[in-house]
């Protein structure tokens, strides 16, 4: 048996040994931490044939077309996933194109610019891609095509096409700077990306909560390109104080109207669709459409009863008073709106002349908006990179070989109803088949 003294010596030595091992480990850990701190991790350098800035509709289609041609393509997207605006479009069902797409459905300082790209990648081309993936869809109205189920089907389709074309996607890739010497260099928080071709598909300023920035416009200016001043488009309009007091308590009331701007000799624009009264002004498809043509000062004209003769019964009958007129108008307009509008526009006397004047007012209600709801509520941005700077066939800059601009960042803006997606697909295809 071990003596008590010997056992105490063993215990003390074991304690000393444990303490010494612990101290050794602490020193080793400190040495490793100091060594790690002294190491500089070199930046990641990635070399590609084509860099695409922006993983939205235009950028994705461009990447797919370029990848199918054997190009090594990288998409740099600052958001955490691609196609975020695709996912929220069309109430989550993505109004991905329009059957009746024509150059006349687009605004631009050069109305002819979009014709080439739109002719070479048509709605039927994108529909063929949708049908290849067995995505069911339907026409809602006026040629507008929507997914039957969810917009995720479109982003999943584009993801699959990118994978098949060996396109590399880099989400959460924030670009700090773009340089150019013999090639383009995108400096990001993830390192450097290099390529002889740079395609800018960064979108416009609409819906900033989705990450919209002015990066594409800043890049254009950096390379000496002209910009058509951007502005919100397809956006609700706000009332001036008097009209707000008169109508905004009717928020939620909708009417089928024809909204116009401009005179017959000065490029008139008219849209026959729904109008919605809001807490701040007017919205609905007809108002969103006309907003793209509103210059901040003009009045718009609203035909509240298209194709109807609202005063005919009073002109031909014996009873002429506000009650009779109210009854006629309520047969055409929602009751609350009919009553309010007539209270504000009823003539002092019910003569033939005053009834004719009232008829004109019903068909030409003049509204002078105060402003738009801004980029927060705008579906797209009008204006952008001046089309004079770009080739209409390829989207390449005339002044800077190898630099391309596509999609919403360019001064081409579509009407409501799938036209802006079709421009994204068409301009992306034009660049992708060239780079």
Indicate the pTM of the whole model.
0.88
Provide the sign of the torsion angle of the four alpha carbons 216, 53, 373, 339, taken in this order: positive
* Domain annotation for the chain: domains and CATH numbers: 47-233+379-432 (3.50.50.60), 237-372 (2.40.30.10)
* DSSP per residue, 258-294: EEEES-TTS--EEEEEEEEE-SSEEESHHHHHHHTT-
pLDDT at 365: 97
CA distance 50 to 87: 26
pLDDT at 44: 60
Tell me which residues of the chain have a pLDDT lower than 50: 1-25, 28-29, 31-33, 35-42, 265-266
Are the C-beta atoms of 92 and 155 separated by less than 8 Å?
no
Burial degree of 431 (CB within 10 A; 0-12, 13-18, 19+): buried
CA distance 243 to 294: 18
Name the strand (E) or helix (H) holding 188: strand 184-188
Tell me how far apart the 2 most distant CA atoms of the chain are, in Å: 131
Nearest to 267 by CA among 227, 229, 296, 298: 298
* β-pairing verdict for 403-405 and 237-238: unpaired
> Could you tell me where the DSSP H helices lie in 39-133?
57-68, 84-88, 115-120, 123-132
Q: How far is CA 206 from CA 53, 212, 373, 374, in A?
A: 17, 6, 11, 8
Using the 8-state DSSP alphabet, how is residue 44 labeled?
Answer: P
Nearest to 200 by CA among 182, 183, 180, 215: 215
List residues bridging with 254 in a β-sheet: 276
Q: What share of the chain is helix, strand, coil (3-state, %, to 5)?
A: 40, 25, 35
Q: How many other CB atoms sit within 10 Å of the CB of residue 9? A: 12
Nearest to 201 by CA among 62, 338, 381: 62
Nearest to 407 by CA among 228, 199, 224: 199
CA distance 324 to 184: 72
Question: Of how many residues is the chain composed?
Answer: 435
pLDDT at 43: 53
CA distance 367 to 305: 16
Strands (E), 27-124: 45-47, 50-53, 73-76, 95-98, 106-107
* DSSP per residue, 335-391: HHHHHHHHHHH--SS--HHHHHHHHHHHH-EEE---EE--TTT-SEEEEEE-GGGB-
Could you tell me how far CA 373 lies from the centroid of its own chain?
15
């Amino acid at each position: 048996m071990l003596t008590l003294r010997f056992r105490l010596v063993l215990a003390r030595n074991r304690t000393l040994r444990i303490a010494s091992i612990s101290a050794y480990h602490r020193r080793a850990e400190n040495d490793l931490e100091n060594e790690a701190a002294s190491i500089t991790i070199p930046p990641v350098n990635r070399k590609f044939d084509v860099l695409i800035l922006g993983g939205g509709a235009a950028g994705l289609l461009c990447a797919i077309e370029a990848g199918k041609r054997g190009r090594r393509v990288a998409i740099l997207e600052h958001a955490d996933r691609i196609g975020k605006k695709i996912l929220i479009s069309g109430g989550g069902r993505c109004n991905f194109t329009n059957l009746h797409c024509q150059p006349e459905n687009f605004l631009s300082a050069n109305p002819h610019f979009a014709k080439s790209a739109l002719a070479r990648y048509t709605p039927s081309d994108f529909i063929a891609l949708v049908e290849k993936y067995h995505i069911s869809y339907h026409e809602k109205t006026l040629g507008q095509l929507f997914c039957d189920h969810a917009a995720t089907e479109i982003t999943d389709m584009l993801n699959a096409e990118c994978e098949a074309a060996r396109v590399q996607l880099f989400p959460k890739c924030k670009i700090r700077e773009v340089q150019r010497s013999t090639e383009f260099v995108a400096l990001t928080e993830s390192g450097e990306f290099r390529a002889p071709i740079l395609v800018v598909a960064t979108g416009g300023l609409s819906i900033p909560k989705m990450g919209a920035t002015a990066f594409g416009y800043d890049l254009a200016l950096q390379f000496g390109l002209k910009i058509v001043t951007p502005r919100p488009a397809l956006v609700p309009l706000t009332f001036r104080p008097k009209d707000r007091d008169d109508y905004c308590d009717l928020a939620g009331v909708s009417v089928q109207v024809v909204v116009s701007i401009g005179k017959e000799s000065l490029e008139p624009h008219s849209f026959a669709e729904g109008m919605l009264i809001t807490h701040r002004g007017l919205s609905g498809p007809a108002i969103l459409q006309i907003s793209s043509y509103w210059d901040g000062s003009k009045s718009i004209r609203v035909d509240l009863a298209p194709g109807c003769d609202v005063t005919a019964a009073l002109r031909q009958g014996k009873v002429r008073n506000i009650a009779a007129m109210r009854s006629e108008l309520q047969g055409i307009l929602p009751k609350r709106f009919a009553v309010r509008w007539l209270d504000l526009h009823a003539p002092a006397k019910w003569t033939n002349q005053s009834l004719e004047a009232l008829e004109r007012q019903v068909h030409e209600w003049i509204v002078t908006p105060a402003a738009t709801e801004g980029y927060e509520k705008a579906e797209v941005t009008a204006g952008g990179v001046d089309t004079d700077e770009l080739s209409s066939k390829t989207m390449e800059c005339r002044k800077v070989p190898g630099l391309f601009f596509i999609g919403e960042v360019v001064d081409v803006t579509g009407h409501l109803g799938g036209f802006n997606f079709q421009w994204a697909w068409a301009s992306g295809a034009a660049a992708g088949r060239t780079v």
